[in-house]
Chains A and B, each alone.
Chain A
């Protein structure tokens, strides 16, 4: 039984669908990366796992989210409280908006410890957690308020707080955007270590394809509320099949390569509610044929354990 099994999840904001039939599965100790265009529904999908979206305006329109075999969408408030933190904990995308501005960071971490590992809820463990994420002079930093920390320090405090709960599943939404590459490498190493030692699973949302390669076993690519490709990390990075994934990999600037303009995918991302009929990527796809604008492609197996939402890929 997988630790997390999302089946055909559909989420609406008001009358607009933003997540449209997403299925994902993650085994204990596994790491799945979720990548895709800004606004395609990655964070909304991730927040649904512990049912953290405010309802309304959000509405779980269909599907099921099985966490340790139990459907989160049917849980009572008490059951939800029990899984939040202890089973699944989050590194939120915007640390500045997620830390409590009027509490010292040490107190915030201690509070998480008190809830989930009460016997270790002391200063020593708080300092150890901060040190583990590379905060210099952690003994003094526990007394800082969030606004006294740099963006990258706030992000590391969030990571320390998420790890304090010793979760089975860590949902890390852009966990290293404010970190320089040396500290980023250190955090990736730490997460890999926790997977090996404790069997912690990770759902990693990132636009940094380099860290996808370093940490994830599998990658799911999202576009306009749907998954368009899923494969083992090496296969996907080496040989992307969906035209969107191919275009995405071409857009990344590469250190040492001279380029006057970066290769952005032409056109704009369709917004929820205005998704095109047929294939949602067709209006921007360099390989689109006339059929693509009418036929709705399905996410279909495509050799090995790959899935692709495009009937015309060459394998």
Chain B
């Protein structure tokens, strides 16, 4: 049984247009199914605005799903009362995409990290508490002597690491990481990724790891799910997907990864056509308006995510044949 089992999840968010128009919804997540095993890292990648953050927040019920099921460790979260949910909160944590707004500006970072320990009564004594806070800050490369500083006194990348320390504090089983290393230079990033991997191995922590950095995802995650306009269009072992992407969107995405060495540049697949909006998703395959190989039925019939024998799945009428 997977640790996290998301089935046909939909999150439709209301938006108000001009006063005279009817209220509409953004189909931020539009039928996503996904599993994460205990101790597994699953990468979630996809176009900016395709619904990754909304999906991550829905898993923790920080935003209410419109439809679908979320089962965590055998319990259906979508049915739980707020009280019962609180008990599970410690076991699922999130590292937010926007570190500045997710830290309380009026609390020192030591207080922010310690707060989680207090809520869940994880530090029996004052000494144990400060020792744990110092250990967490050190593990993400920060000076424990800075625990009494406020968030605005840190650099962007330092704040991002405070968010990671805070999420790890309560020893969760599932960590939803939303762009956790995007503000870090590659050396500090390497240090943090190595730390996350150590925690994964030592304590069996599982990750839903949202990132735009495909090299990091390929390195860190065992499996990968590629999203496009609220849906998963391809999943599989991350190595295999990155080496031989099958969905035309995944192919275009991988071809656009910038390379440091100017000599090893590959041809980029340039996507043309109007970028669709989740306010009015196109009929048929959501990718067809920009797809270089789309044909007739792609414009009318939405392809299902079909599981192949090799543990890979693609939602494309034309892939694999």
Same assembly: yes
Contact surface of A with B, Cβ cutoff 8 Å: 13, 35-39, 42-43, 93-97, 134, 136-137, 140, 143-144, 148-153, 156, 173-174, 177-185, 207-211, 213-214, 234, 237-238, 247-249, 251-256, 258-259, 261-265, 268-269, 271, 274
Residues of A within 8 A of B219 (CB): 253, 259, 262
One of B186, B213, B279 near A137 (C-beta < 8 A)? B279
Nearest neighbor of B249 in chain A, beta-carbon distance: A182
Task: Give the distance in Å from the alpha carbon of A174 to the alpha carbon of B47 in the complex.
Answer: 18
Nearest neighbor of A206 in chain B, beta-carbon distance: B185
Contact surface of B with A, Cβ cutoff 8 Å: 13, 15-18, 26, 45-49, 53, 97-101, 141, 143, 146, 153-159, 161, 178-179, 182-191, 193-194, 197, 212-216, 218-219, 239, 242-243, 252-254, 256-262, 268, 271, 274-277, 279-280
**Which of B194, B258, B268, B277 is packed against the most chain A CB atoms within 10 Å?**
B258
Nearest neighbor of B138 in chain A, beta-carbon distance: A268
Is B184 touching A38 in the complex (CB atoms < 8 A)? yes
* Known contacts A181-B253, A259-B219, A151 near B48 by CB under 8 Å: yes
Residues of B within 8 A of A38 (CB): 141, 155-158, 161, 183-185, 188
Is A234 touching B262 in the complex (CB atoms < 8 A)? yes
* Known contacts A35-B185, A209-B186, A248-B187, A178 near B48 by CB under 8 Å: yes
A-B CB contact pairs (8 Å), 8 listed: A35-B185, A39-B157, A143-B17, A210-B259, A249-B260, A255-B218, A261-B197, A271-B143
One of A208, A214, A264 near B188 (C-beta < 8 A)? A264
Is B186 touching A210 in the complex (CB atoms < 8 A)? no
Is B277 touching A251 in the complex (CB atoms < 8 A)? no
Name the 7 nearest CB pairs between A and B, nearest first.
A210-B258, A152-B48, A38-B157, A262-B190, A96-B98, A137-B277, A264-B190
Task: Give the distance in Å from the alpha carbon of A150 to the alpha carbon of B159 in the complex.
Answer: 20
Is B279 touching A268 in the complex (CB atoms < 8 A)? no
Is B275 touching A94 in the complex (CB atoms < 8 A)? no
* Known contacts A38-B158, A150-B53, A237-B260, A180 near B48 by CB under 8 Å: yes
Residues of B within 8 A of A265 (CB): 187
Task: Give the distance in Å from the alpha carbon of A250 to the alpha carbon of B187 in the complex.
Answer: 8
Is B99 touching A94 in the complex (CB atoms < 8 A)? yes
* Known contacts A38-B155, A177-B182, A251-B187, A96 near B100 by CB under 8 Å: yes
Is A256 touching B242 in the complex (CB atoms < 8 A)? yes
Nearest neighbor of B191 in chain A, beta-carbon distance: A264
Q: A177-B179, A253-B218 are in contact. List 12 more A-B contacts (CB 8 A).
A: A39-B154, A137-B279, A148-B26, A150-B53, A174-B183, A182-B253, A185-B268, A252-B186, A252-B260, A255-B215, A263-B190, A264-B188
Is B100 touching A97 in the complex (CB atoms < 8 A)? yes
One of A37, A140, A173, A214 near B279 (C-beta < 8 A)? A140
Is B16 touching A143 in the complex (CB atoms < 8 A)? yes
One of A134, A174, A237, A256 near B243 (C-beta < 8 A)? A256
Task: Give the distance in Å from the alpha carbon of A144 to the alpha carbon of B197 in the complex.
Answer: 38
Residues of B within 8 A of A140 (CB): 17, 277, 279
Is A262 touching B179 in the complex (CB atoms < 8 A)? no
